């Protein structure tokens, strides 16, 4: 058997309608030998469902798309369940808002704290893990697999200099702006942000999304250009520039780490190549560089320009690099220019 515990925000405030939902669920669950409990309080649904694995998985998929609630968060998924917690409840509905029992108040506080803590932890968790959890799966049970991906690597120009010479608040604001812009546009265009590494962003796209990866890169460069011109001259944001490297190939995707800390991420040569290509942007003074594999995967008619062949660290053979003939890609600032700009602040 399988058991799923989840919480969500209710779109229903009427207690009679909540009771009706519970009654209908109870009837349907009896037919499918599903048991569980639905607890309502403070605009939240807290539910546990248990039963045949296939039936519970299908039911949870329906729950996830139900418009009567939003922000469904899976708190726990249990497989190979031997014994039911609620063998006599096809779906017991408990509305804590209607109870005046003093014993109920600590339970409300406990559940509210649980939801709040889960929301905080979610902010520190990569989207892939949240998606796996919300699909009713345990990410710790996901085995590493070799898959083809388009790898995105981006990095802020001269960040070390800025972090060493400028106020902490200004540097933190710059990096947070950069990460916010990058992660939002990546997610919006189908990319998966897997890791922030200092001032760097590691993300990936499915192999057929080469055009989306290029479009994402241009949109990020465009947004960064906007904020460079928005702040006052004394704001560090006018010095925010980044390089982006795109590569494609087979990576290993899965859990990597120890008993203390685990990451769900990607590893492999394409990751290293994307990072090296991003570093190459400093040499060629272009904000975006594509590998040959990404270039060959493009379906749209992009203004591709060959930069030449370059020796990348860790690669025996030289690697061909490409960019776009685009004003956004041509916007660049050198380390020396940043030093000069900082001397005038």
CATH number for the domain harbouring residue 108: 3.30.70.100
At 101 the pLDDT is: 66
- pTM beyond 0.85: the answer is no
At 233 the pLDDT is: 59
Angle between helices 168-188 and 210-229 (to 10 degrees): 150
At 99 the pLDDT is: 67
Within 10 Å of residue 87's Cβ, how many Cβ atoms? 9
Q: Looking at the structure, do residues 157 and 127 belong to the same domain, yes or no?
A: no
Domain boundary among 91, 123, 138: 138
Q: Give the C-alpha separation, 154 to 137, whole Å.
A: 31
Quote the domain boundaries for residue 320.
Answer: 143-343
Q: Give the C-alpha separation, 108 to 193, whole Å.
A: 34
Q: Looking at the structure, do residues 183 and 69 belong to the same domain, yes or no?
A: no
Cβ(217)–Cβ(244) below 8 Å? yes
- Averaged pLDDT, groups of 10, the chain, 345 residues long: 86 74 80 87 84 88 82 82 87 75 68 72 72 73 91 94 89 92 94 91 96 97 92 78 96 87 88 94 95 96 94 83 96 86 76
Q: Looking at the structure, do residues 204 and 121 belong to the same domain, yes or no?
A: no
Q: What pLDDT digit, counting tens, does each position of 293-302 carry?
A: 999 999 999 9
Length of the chain: 345
> Which CATH number covers residue 242?
3.30.70.1230
Q: Looking at the structure, do residues 197 and 257 belong to the same domain, yes or no?
A: yes
User: Given CA atoms 140, 146, 150, 151 in this order, what sign does their dihedral have?
Assistant: positive
At 259 the pLDDT is: 77
Q: Looking at the structure, do residues 255 and 223 belong to the same domain, yes or no?
A: yes
Coil, helix or strand at residue 51:
strand
Domain boundary among 115, 138, 161: 138
Burial class of residue 222 (count of CB atoms within 10 Å of its CB; 0-12, 13-18, 19+): middle
Q: Give the C-alpha separation, 217 to 201, whole Å.
A: 12
Q: Looking at the structure, do residues 101 and 170 belong to the same domain, yes or no?
A: no
Question: Phi and psi (nearest 5°) for 191?
Answer: -85, 160
Q: Looking at the structure, do residues 147 and 231 belong to the same domain, yes or no?
A: yes
Q: Looking at the structure, do residues 272 and 286 belong to the same domain, yes or no?
A: yes
HSE (side-chain half, CA atoms, 13 Å) at 331: 18
Q: Give the C-alpha separation, 320 to 305, whole Å.
A: 11
Q: Looking at the structure, do residues 128 and 238 belong to the same domain, yes or no?
A: no
CA distances for 104 relative to 8, 41, 113, 277, angstroms: 20, 10, 14, 58
3-state SS of 108-177 is HHHHHHHHHHHHHHHHCCCHHHHHHHHCCCCHHHCCCEEEEEEEEEEEECCHHHHHHHCCHHHHHHHHHH
HSE (side-chain half, CA atoms, 13 Å) at 218: 14
Q: Give the C-alpha separation, 330 to 255, whole Å.
A: 38
At 311 the pLDDT is: 86
Q: Looking at the structure, do residues 205 and 265 belong to the same domain, yes or no?
A: yes
Q: Give the C-alpha separation, 35 to 55, whole Å.
A: 12
Q: Looking at the structure, do residues 127 and 147 belong to the same domain, yes or no?
A: no
Q: Looking at the structure, do residues 131 and 178 belong to the same domain, yes or no?
A: no
Q: How many structural domains does the chain have?
A: 2
Which residues have a Cβ under 8 Å from the Cβ of 308 and sit 6 or more positions away? 320, 321
At 277 the pLDDT is: 95
Domain boundary among 107, 122, 138: 138
């Amino acid at each position: 058997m399988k058991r799923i515990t989840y919480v969500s925000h209710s779109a229903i405030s009427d207690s009679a309608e909540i009771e009706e939902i519970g009654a209908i669920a109870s009837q349907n669950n009896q037919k499918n030998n599903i048991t569980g409990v639905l607890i309502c309080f403070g605009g939240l649904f807290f539910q546990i469902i248990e039963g045949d694995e296939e039936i519970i998985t299908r039911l949870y998929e329906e729950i996830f798309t139900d418009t009567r609630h939003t922000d469904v968060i899976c708190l726990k998924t249990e497989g190979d369940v031997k014994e039911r917690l609620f063998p006599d409840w096809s779906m017991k509905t408990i509305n804590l808002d209607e109870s005046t029992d003093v014993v109920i108040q600590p339970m409300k506080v406990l559940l509210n704290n649980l939801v709040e803590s889960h929301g905080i932890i979610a902010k520190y968790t990569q989207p892939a893990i949240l998606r796996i959890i919300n699909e009713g799966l345990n990410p710790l049970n996901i085995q590493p697999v070799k898959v083809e991906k388009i790898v995105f690597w981006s990095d802020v120009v001269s960040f070390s200099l800025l972090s060493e010479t400028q106020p902490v608040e200004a540097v933190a604001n710059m990096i947070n702006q950069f990460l916010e812009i990058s992660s939002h546009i990546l997610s919006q265009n189908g990319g998966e942000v897997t890791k922030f590494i200092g001032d760097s962003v590691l993300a990936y796209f499915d192999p057929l999304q080469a055009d989306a990866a290029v479009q994402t890169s241009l949109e990020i460069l465009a947004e960064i250009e906007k904020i460079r011109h928005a702040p006052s001259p004394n704001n560090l944001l006018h010095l925010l520039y980044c390089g982006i490297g795109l590569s494609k190939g087979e990576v290993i995707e899965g859990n990597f780490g120890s008993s203390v800390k685990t990451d769900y991420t990607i590893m492999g040569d394409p990751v290293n190549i994307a990072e090296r290509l991003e570093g190459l942007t400093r040499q060629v003074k272009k904000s975006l560089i594509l590998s040959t594999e990404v270039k060959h995967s493009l379906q749209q008619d992009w203004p591709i320009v060959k930069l030449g062949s370059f020796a990348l660290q860790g690669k025996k053979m030289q690697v061909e690099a490409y960019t776009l003939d685009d004003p956004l890609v041509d916007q660049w600032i050198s380390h020396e220019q940043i030093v000069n700009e900082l001397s005038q602040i």
